[in-house]
Chains A and B, each alone.
Chain A
Amino acid sequence: MTHEAITMVEAVNLALAHEMEHDENVVILGEDVGTNGGVFRATAGLKDRFGNRRVMDTPLAEAMIGGLTVGMASQGLKPVAEIQFMGFIFPALEHIICHAARLRNRTRGRLTCPMVLRAPFGGGIHAPEHHSESTETLLAHIPGLRVVIPSSPARAYGLLLSAIRDPDPVIFLEPKRIYRASKQPVPDNGAALPLDTCFTLREGSDITLVSWGAMVKETLEAAEQLAEEGISCEVIDVATISPLDMDTILASVAKTGRCAIVHEASRNLGVGAEITANLCEKALMDLQAPPVRITGYDTVMPYYRLENHFMPNTADIKDAVRQTLEFV
C-alpha cells in the first residue's frame, strides 16, 4: 500500500484526527483552531469532522487556555490545546509550571493532567516580532513536564500520538520553519513513536552531531556534505528534550569520541549546555575533543531581516565539525 507524501503540518493534523477518531476524550481547544483550522492549518477540517463540542475556538486569552486545559484534563478529558505561537505562551506558563506539571505530584496521583500543549516555534519564516523565538529550554527545566520536538512528518505523527496517549502533560513544540519544508509518506496506522528517546538518523564513526527540531535539516545536510570530505558523522535527533535520553548520546560518543550540538535557541543555558555537562560527567575518558555547541547568539531574536544571521547554518556546522576533528 502506498501512502501520499505529506508535510509536517499535515502529519500533525493526521495524528490529531486519528486520536479524536479513536478516543472520544480527546478534544482540541485554542485560538482560531475551529472554523479557521488554526493559523497554520494544523487543525483544518477537524471541527467539521468532530463538531464544535470537541474542537473549541477559545476567547483570545492564553492564560485561560492553559488553565482551562488543566481543569479539563483533571476530569479525564485529553485536551490538546494550541498556543498560536510560542512567543505568546508566557501567560499560560503559570498554569503549565504551577499546575499541569505538579498536579499528579501534589495530589499523590489522585488527580492527573493528561494534556498536550502544542505550539509552533522557531525562526526562519520572516514572521512578525515575537513569532520566531526558540525558548524550549524554559520548559525543559521544569520537573513533571515532557518537552517533545519533532523534526519530520513521520516523527510529528508518531510522537504526537504518543504525546496524546501519555498520561502526563506534554509540551509539543512544532518547528514551523519545516512545517511545509519537505514531504514524506506517513501511513495513518496509529503507530506511535517512543517518547524520552533519541532517534539516530545517520550512523557514523568520526563525530556525533546532536540536534532537534528544524536544525536537524541543516545538521543532516552538513553530515551529507562532510561525508564527501571523508568525515563520517553520526546524527542524533533528540526529539524529547526533557527527560533527556543521554544513554543514546553517550553510547554514540563512546564510539566517535567527539560531539557537536546544534540548536537554534540561544547558547546560554540551552539544552546544549545540559548535554555538554552530561558528557563531561559521564564521558570524559571517551572524549578526544571538547564538545562544541553551534547555537543562536545570546541576543534577542532579531526581527526578520537579520534572522538568518542568528540561526546556525550548514556551513557553521561543517566549520565546527572540522575544527573539532583537528583538536589534538
Chain B
Amino acid sequence: MDTVYEGDIRYRQYLSAQGKATAELPAWAKDPEWLTLCYRNMVLARALDSKAIALQRTGQLGTYASLLGSEAVDVPAGLLMRPEDVLIPYYRNHACQMLRGMPMEEILLYWGGDERGNASAQQRQDFPNCVPIATQSMHACGVATAIKMRNEKRVAVTFCGDGATSKGDFLEGLNVAGAWQLPVVFVVNNNQWAISVPRALQNGAPTLAQKAIGAGIRGEQVDGNDVIAVREAFELALERARDGKGPSLIEAISYRLSDHTTADDATRYRDNEELKKAWELEPVKRLRTFLHSQGWWDETQETAWQEEVNTMVQTATERYLATPAQPIESIFDHLFAELPKQLHEQRDWAMVKAMKGGTHHDS
C-alpha cells in the first residue's frame, strides 16, 4: 500500500519552566518593550481574576469562570489582534476582552448578571461570551465568511477549551474553515480539564492540534505558559489568515490552576500533587523570571506595578458595584428591533409588578 498522507504536529516553546531560553529567541524577544507590556497585563488580569473570585465569595458577583493559568494564552492574543479583527470568545477570555478595550467594570458587570456586560461599545463587533460549548467556533466561521466575501483584511479569532474539541460543533467549524479556507484562527486553550474530566479521558489522540489535519488546515501545539511561543504561533496564524492563506488551529498547553468556575470544587476530582506541579509551570512567574534575568524588570517595578494594578482593579470594582440594575422593561426592549404589539401588555404588567408595592397583572 502507498502512503497517501503523512502529517505532523510541531510543539513550539522558547522558555522553560524556569524562565530560561530553550531555543534561539526571535528577534522581537530581544527587546523589552512588548514582553514587559505583556507581563504587566498578565499581572493585571490575575489581579482582576482574584478580585472577581473575592466578589463572588462575598455575594457580590455571580458564578465566575477564573482565567488563572490562562494568562499567557489570553494576553498575547489581546495584544496582537487588531481593533478591526473580531474576537469570538468562550467564557475564559476576560484578559483578551480587556486588552481589546473593554473596561474592567463592564467585565465584572457581565459576571454580575447584567447583559450590559456584553454591550460594551469598546467590543465593537466582538461576540459576547459564548456559554454553550463550541458553538462559537461556527460563529467565527460565519464572521470569517463575511470577511472573505468582502475581501477585507480582517481575522476572526475564536477560543475554546479542550473539552469543546469533543463536540461536533468544533469539528464542523474546522471542517468548513478548511473547505472554504476562511480567515479564522482557532485557539484551543488546553488547560487539561473539562470541569472534572481530564484530557486523557476526552480523546484518544496524542494532540488536539492534529484535528486540524483532518480538516485540511494548519495545526500546531504551543507551550501555553510561554508568551514568546504563544506570540510566535499566534502572529503567524493571524498573518496567514489576513493574507488569505487560510485558517490555523493552535493548541496551547496550559493548566487550569483554578476550579472550573466558582461553583466548582476541583478538590473533589483532582489530585493536589498534580496542581502543585502545575504551579511550577505557571506563566506569570515564568515570564517574570525571564524579565529579571534580562534585567528588564526588578522588585521595585514589581511592587509599584502591583500597587497600581490593585488601584485600577479597586476603581473598576467600585464602578461595577455602583451600577444600578437595568429597569425591568429592558427585558422586552432588546428582544426585537421593535417590540411586537403582542408583547406590549406583558411589558406593562412587568413594569407594574416591579413598582414598589406593585402586584401581578389583573389577578
Contact = CB atoms under 8 A, between A and B. Distances in A.
Given A61-B172, A95-B138, A108-B115, 16 more contacts: A67-B135, A68-B138, A68-B139, A71-B140, A77-B146, A94-B132, A98-B131, A99-B132, A104-B336, A106-B115, A106-B128, A108-B330, A111-B125, A144-B336, A167-B337, A196-B342
Contact of A104 (B88, B145, B335): B335
B350 to A, nearest CB: 13
Nearest to A53: B149
A109 B333 CA distance: 9
Contacts of A71: 88, 138-146, 156
B180 to A, nearest CB: 8
B149 A27 contact: yes
A184 B5 CA distance: 56
B41 interface: no
A231 interface: no
A185 interface: no
A243 B342 CA distance: 7
Contacts of A108: 115-116, 118-119, 330, 334
Q: Is the contact region of chain B dominated by helix, strand, or loop, or is it mixed?
A: helix
A247 B342 CA distance: 9
Contacts of B127: 74, 111
A238 to B, nearest CB: 12
Contacts of B88: 71
14 contacts: A68-B138, A70-B139, A71-B143, A72-B146, A91-B168, A94-B135, A98-B135, A106-B118, A108-B116, A110-B118, A111-B128, A196-B340, A196-B342, A243-B343
A143 interface: yes
Contact of A67 (B115, B141, B147): B141
Given A70-B142, A107-B115, A111-B127, A64 B342 contact: no
Interface string A93-133: 01100110001111111111000000000000000000000
B143 A74 contact: yes
Q: Contact residue range for chain B?
A: 35 or more
Interface in A232-272: 243-247
Contacts of A143: 335
Given A71-B88, A105-B334, A244-B342, A76 B146 contact: yes
Nearest to A104: B334
Given A53-B149, A71-B139, A75-B125, A63 B342 contact: no
B179 interface: yes
Contacts of A56: 145
A210 to B, nearest CB: 16
Given A74-B143, A110-B119, A63 B337 contact: no
Contacts of A99: 132, 135, 139
Contacts of B335: 104-105, 143-144
Nearest to B330: A108
Contacts of A67: 135, 137-139, 141-142, 169, 172-173
B176 interface: yes
Contacts, number: 137
Interface residues of A, number: 48
Contact of A63 (B120, B172, B331): B172
Interface of B: 86, 88, 115-116, 118-121, 123, 125, 127-128, 131-132, 135, 137-147, 149, 156, 168-169, 172-173, 175-176, 179, 330-331, 334-337, 340-343
A281 to B, nearest CB: 10
A325 to B, nearest CB: 30
Q: Across the A-B interface, give the 4 residue pairs with the lowest CB-CB distance, nearest first.
A: A71-B142, A67-B138, A75-B146, A108-B119
A251 B172 CA distance: 49
A275 interface: no
Contact of B340 (A63, A94, A243): A243
Interface in A49-85: 53-54, 56, 58-59, 61, 63-64, 66-77, 79
B169 A98 contact: no
Contact of A77 (B139, B149, B179): B149
Contacts of A74: 125, 127, 139, 142-143
Contacts of B143: 71-72, 74-75
Contacts of A77: 146, 149
A63 B143 CA distance: 15
A284 to B, nearest CB: 14
A32 interface: no
Nearest to A166: B337
A63 B118 contact: no
B276 to A, nearest CB: 38
B139 A63 contact: no
Contacts of A247: 341
A168 interface: yes
Nearest to A101: B335
B172 A64 contact: yes
Contacts of A79: 142
Nearest to A167: B337
A272 B330 CA distance: 30
Nearest to B123: A110
Contact of B336 (A53, A168, A244): A168
A95 B146 contact: no
Interface centre among A53, A54, A58, A64 (most CB of B within 10 A): A64
A104 B337 contact: yes
Nearest to A97: B132
A103 B132 CA distance: 13
Contacts of A243: 340, 342-343
A68 B142 contact: yes
Contact of B142 (A72, A106, A166): A72
